A = this chain, B = another copy of it.
Amino acid sequence: MDFLFLSKTLLFRGTSPREIETMLGCLHAEQKGYKKSDVIYHAGDRVTSLGMVLSGGVSIESDDFWGNKNILDHVGPGQVFAETYACVPGEALMVNVVASEPTNILFLDTSHLIQICSNACEHHSKLIGNLLLISAQKNLNLSRRIFHTSSKSIRGRLLSYLSDQAIRKGSRDFTIPFNRQQLADYLSVDRSALSNELSKMNREGLISVDRNHFLLLEMAETF
């Protein structure tokens, strides 16, 4: 087990490799390997362990009633998944967690962290604090997405998302981390309709767009 690697993750931030070694015992740490497309957690499962990706990567997917797959998120090395469900025992997963490549996962049972007095092991409290930070940040990401998809028009969603990016990057001139399909998925709209709306906004002089690079123009007064 690579304790040095773990000590650099957000979850174990502020703990030494030596401390981690003792903690892994409390957390009933178990490592497991998966092949590509293996399902790590199924929708409907109830879990008490979060997963940390040691190597490889996993996709968080949701299958709707008609069998359409929808990729909600991708989790890479050092990041965790299912931590929310692990913290709220009894909640059934709404998503599938699937290995997107050969992947090693470290499972950490959080029920001991939370239910038993958190002073049982003096490092527990640091871990819980880190979990809280991870949870709060995920919270903000979810809120942001709801915010950006609350408008009923594609243009409204784009303006919401793009101006947020501009504020966040501190410039009207920025690059987004999505391609068209991903942006369309994020905003829950059709890709071609999105492309169409973007070029319309381009023609109208609202924005200047090239691939995933944007420049906001007239909307300046909004701020």
- Interface of A with B (CB < 8 Å)? 62, 64-65, 70, 72, 83-85, 87-88, 91-92, 94, 114, 118-119, 122, 124-126, 128-129, 131-133, 135-140, 142-147, 149-152, 156, 159-160, 163, 167, 188-190, 222
Contact = CB atoms under 8 A, between A and B. Distances in A.
A24 B218 CA distance: 48
Max chain B CB contacts within 10 Å: which of A83, A118, A143, A188? A143
A168 to B, nearest CB: 9
Contact of A118 (B72, B129, B149): B129
A144 B190 CA distance: 21
A126 B152 CA distance: 42
A167 B44 CA distance: 11
30 contacts: A62-B147, A64-B156, A64-B160, A65-B156, A65-B159, A65-B160, A83-B136, A84-B140, A85-B140, A87-B136, A88-B136, A88-B137, A88-B140, A114-B132, A114-B133, A118-B125, A118-B126, A118-B128, A118-B129, A119-B122, A128-B129, A131-B132, A132-B132, A135-B136, A135-B139, A139-B139, A142-B146, A149-B188, A150-B188, A152-B189
Nearest to A222: B65
A118 B132 CA distance: 12
Given A150-B188, A188-B150, A143 B143 contact: no
B64 A132 contact: no
